Amino acid sequence: MKNKINIYLIEFAINAILRQKYKSLFVAVVFILLTFLLTSVFFITNSIKYELNSTVEALPEIIIQKTEAGRVQNIDVAEVDRILAVKGVSDAYARVWGYYYFENAGVNFSIVGVDKFENQYKNSLAKIVDRFDFGEADSPLMIIGKGVHESMKKNYYKEYFNFIKSDGTLKKVTIAGVFDGDTQLESNDMIVMSKETFREIFNMPQTKATDIVVKVANSSEIATVVSKLKLIYPNSSIITKESIKVSYQNIFNYKSGLFLALFIISLFTFFIVIYDKVSGLSSEEKREVGILKAIGWRVDDVLKEKFYEAAIISLFSYIVGVGLAMAFVYLFQAPILRDIFVGYSELKPSFELPFVFDIQTLFLVFFLSVPIYIAATIIPSWRVATLEADEVIR
Amino acid sequence: MIELKHITKIYELNRADRVVALNDVSLSIKEGVVLVLKGASGSGKSSILSLIAALSKPTSGEVIVDGKKISKLSDNFASVYRRDNIGFVFQKYNLIPNLSVRDNILLPLVPLNLDAKDAEEKLALVMEMFHIAHKANAIVKNLSGGEQQRVAIARANINNPKIILADEPTANLDEKLSLSFIEILKELKSLNKTIVIATHDPLFFNLDFVDSVVEIHNGIVR
Amino acid sequence: MLLSPEVLALLILNVIFFLFAIIAFILSVKIFLKWDLNSTSQAQYKLEKQSFLTATIIKYIFIIKVPLFLFFIFTLDKISGLLTGAMCAAGVVNATSYGTYLILLKILNLYLFAYWLALHNEDMKHEHQPYTKMKFGIFIAAFFLLMTEIILEGVMFKAIDIEKVVDCCGAIYSSSANSYISVIFRLKASLLLVLFYGNFLLIVIFYFLKKRYIFALSNAFFIIISLITLISFFGTYIYQLPTHHCPFCFLQKDYYYIGYFIYIFLFIGTFYGLLSGFLRTSEKEISKNYKIALLFNFLYVILLTSYPILFYIKNGVWL
């Protein structure tokens, strides 16, 4: 009986919110904006984290790059055999790949050269090689990612593309197909062609490769293999998957940190704005509370009613804000906002944010908005609840 | 039984300016009595109503209702006392203009968290009694003065209080409506309620059911 | 320093608690020293108004603190993914020297704030407000505990070192561990179970005898013995592993979040049990407190007992 929800009080609170149209609308809009922004940012970061993690997972365990004067140089293909001799190494491949800057669209494509008769270091690549043909040297073919396809189409390259070779002449490569990768971040800007065509475009000799990737059968032996390789190639840089993961995380955390700083400021502003708005009592509101007290509402009843008002308006705004954020991020792919987090979006063709739902994000946003709003209403509510009824209804 | 013992009420407008609203007023009102407080505006009669309703505290003296010192109640318990014992019909009615008649009359019940059935029963009873049921869903600000007053009376009676206080009830009514208000008063008296009316309307001074008329002049009972 | 959005949220709310608690503390001191309900002075009148603000602030802090405590545990669980070696919140709690004290303090504060609210409710029922001085006096003490908790929480998150390898719960809650926790594993399970069920039986007996103080006292013991048996005996049946004793892992999804129910039952049951002894109120209220205490303690016992019983029915052996 005592703990029953007071329907009449809820009804009254809703009425009171509606009566203060402009004030309530203002508060709701500010609140929705805040929860919307917060939730969007958390959704985007969750999605990107997921994408990054899957991309990194798909990377080879160890990559060996030859460096000279701190710059990465092409490595000899023959080194593969030396590496294969190291105990613990299960396989090694010489990769040819690079970036091609497409000036008209202002984007970078990453081009991977493959050889049909070699093993591929990645499942996704093996699938492509199985399915497609790369043609002959004089009429080459290529397979392109979705994003590449989009940017080429925009520039009227629908069936083929002219690469500018290092000697300035053009090389025409026909588009044989478009593929979907495991993750969008990975495949979106990728072009796959034969090693021969690649070497021709970038003028890379047959004996050279971009880098060598190493597979290790037992992942706990990676550290040992790395130290052995370090002995063989003291002047090369040897990159492990773990270290890439860490550096990705660092870039990412840096951006989140930047955001968090902004975000504390916006929460503080939120608190002040709400406090200001709620404490600015019109004489009509004061009179109303005076009436209620005069007809037998206790201070506690008025406080409870104010709490109901705050709870209703904040829960409503929270739900709307979260709902909007969901639509914004996953339906509309978060225009503008995600560019802040996907720093290289200008350079890389765009990709889609995968749907990653984490219930904790909802709790997090809840605790960052609703209690702060209610806190901001405590003192104004108390002020109005303890008004002298006799003075305000005169 | 309402007793006012040596009540003095001083309003301090600011440091230099103070108004003595009541000066050593003693008054006792027996149960079931209709009492009219007569006096010009500013004579202090409204202050007496406000003290009986525990809406304000005396500067000195005591207000005792049914043996209970209500002039010393804390804010919360003053409200509880009003809720259970007092039906106040204010001069300006003090309704919430944007709410419906129904919602206005229900206001005193809201914090009680009654079952819908009980609340609707009480509501129907007072709306019937004060002839406002046909306007139940009308918005109060669209009603005429007389109708608004009936809403105010219905709201004052929804908790079936023992004491009815009315402050200048006929000030905003024409003669016909004033007479129908008097009919309502008769009805309330027949329910054995104690009724205190503060007014300067001569209409009230010679009514047969009024038990006594007390004149107040400059904060002093004559 | 660990600054994930979750931790930041906890810290921001702590800042709000901190500011509001200071307001409530200052007012409490004033009320505690100068409260005089018989006085009709303006000062007393102002104090009465301020007492509403103080009570509202304390209510607010408690109402947010309860779900926030669950969120705190949830956050620790999530952080455990970042710490090498940690499998659940236990690893994070143990990652710094403050964790254990922080958890204990948080639980103590929950009991204290809940008690404060019960006292406040009782106080507001009477015209002469018999407990006003007492409740604000209690808040003055609770304020310092709350401040300690807030500071400790900040210090703990600052001290967590992501690079450092921490113990997992399997190592912390094992009989070979070199800590005070390992002491309870030297006690025999049979002895603990006798104590556990015996204690519950006492609660039932005193419920029927209506002995307030002994009832409350047996509830106080029940908190301790319940936690010990939970770690040393019942936990192993929840995990179905004779060596796993962690009191945090069963809060995770893998065990259907059953831990939250276990702790909520225990908290409600023992809180009302203690309340029946510590709060002088009407007969009706006391009997209500008795009933709630018995009901939730009973639910707790049933829930925990069902794990070994079901295990035995399924497998035909005890762990």
- What is the pLDDT tens value at each position of chain C, 319 positions in all? 567 788 888 998 999 999 999 999 999 999 999 998 888 788 888 999 999 999 999 999 999 999 999 899 888 887 777 676 677 778 788 778 888 889 999 999 999 999 999 999 999 988 888 899 999 999 999 999 999 999 999 999 888 876 666 777 777 777 665 566 667 677 788 888 999 999 999 999 988 888 888 889 999 999 989 988 988 888 888 888 887 888 888 887 778 888 889 999 999 999 999 998 888 888 888 888 889 999 999 999 999 999 999 999 988 888 7
Comparing A24-33, A228-237, B189-198, the range with the smallest average pLDDT is A228-237
Q: Determine the distance from the C-alpha atom of residue A388 to the mean position of all C-alpha atoms in its chain, rounded to a whole number.
A: 54
In this prediction, residue B65 carries a pLDDT of 94
Name chain C contacts of B74, Cβ cutoff 8 Å. 37, 48, 127, 129
In this prediction, residue A273 carries a pLDDT of 83
Q: The dihedral of CA C59, C63, C66, C70: what is its sign?
A: negative
In this prediction, residue C176 carries a pLDDT of 63
Name chain B contacts of C129, Cβ cutoff 8 Å. 74
Name chain A contacts of C10, Cβ cutoff 8 Å. 367
A249 pLDDT band (50/70/90 cuts)?
low
In this prediction, residue A349 carries a pLDDT of 47
Beta bridge partners of C211: none
Residue C166 to residues C96, C157, C185: CA-CA distances in angstroms? 9, 15, 22
Residues B74, C49: C-beta atoms closer than 8 Å: no
Q: Which of B172, B163, B158, B174 is nearest to B197 (CA)?
A: B163
Specify the DSSP element, H or E, that contains B217.
Answer: strand B212-217
Mean pLDDT within B179-198:
92
A311 pLDDT band (50/70/90 cuts)?
very high
The Cα–Cα gap between A296 and B82 comes to 5
Q: Is A282 on the interface with B (CB under 8 A)?
A: no
The Cα–Cα gap between C173 and C183 comes to 10
In this prediction, residue A382 carries a pLDDT of 93
Is pLDDT larger for residue A351 or for residue B221?
A: B221
Domains of chain A, by residue range, sit at 7-55+247-392, 75-209
In this prediction, residue A284 carries a pLDDT of 85
Name chain A contacts of B53, Cβ cutoff 8 Å. 294
Is pLDDT larger for residue C38 or for residue A378?
A: A378
In this prediction, residue A80 carries a pLDDT of 86
* Min distance C134 CA to chain B CA atoms (Å): 18
In this prediction, residue C178 carries a pLDDT of 58
Per-residue tokens: C169: 């719960």
The Cα–Cα gap between A143 and A187 comes to 11
- Condensed to tens digits (0 to 9), the pLDDT of residues B66-95 reads 999 998 888 889 999 999 999 999 988 899
The Cα–Cα gap between B98 and B84 comes to 26
Which residue type, as a one-letter code, is found at position C196?
Answer: F
In this prediction, residue A244 carries a pLDDT of 75
Asked whether residue A210 carries a pLDDT value surpassing 80, the answer given is: yes
Nearest CB to B57: which of C40, C49, C124?
A: C40
* Min distance B219 CA to chain C CA atoms (Å): 22
Asked whether residue B197 carries a pLDDT value surpassing 60, the answer given is: yes
Mean pLDDT within B111-121:
90
* Min distance B74 CA to chain C CA atoms (Å): 7
Residues A295, B96: C-beta atoms closer than 8 Å: no
Determine whether A210 is exposed, middle or buried from the number of CB atoms within 10 Å of its CB (0-12, 13-18, 19+).
Answer: buried
In this prediction, residue B141 carries a pLDDT of 92
In this prediction, residue C128 carries a pLDDT of 86
In this prediction, residue A390 carries a pLDDT of 82
Name chain C contacts of A371, Cβ cutoff 8 Å. 13, 16, 64, 68
A352 pLDDT band (50/70/90 cuts)?
low
- Condensed to tens digits (0 to 9), the pLDDT of residues A138-181 reads 778 888 888 888 888 888 888 888 888 888 888 888 888 887 66
Mean pLDDT within A55-61:
75
In this prediction, residue A72 carries a pLDDT of 82
Per-residue tokens: C38: 């018989």
Asked whether residue A1 carries a pLDDT value surpassing 70, the answer given is: no
Residues 6 or more apart in contact with residue C134 via CB below 8 angstroms? C119
Q: Is A22 on the interface with B (CB under 8 A)?
A: no
Domains of chain B, by residue range, sit at 30-58+67-221
A348 pLDDT band (50/70/90 cuts)?
very low
CATH superfamily, domain at B30-58+67-221: P-loop containing nucleotide triphosphate hydrolases (3.40.50.300)
Quick check: helix, strand or coil at residue A272? helix
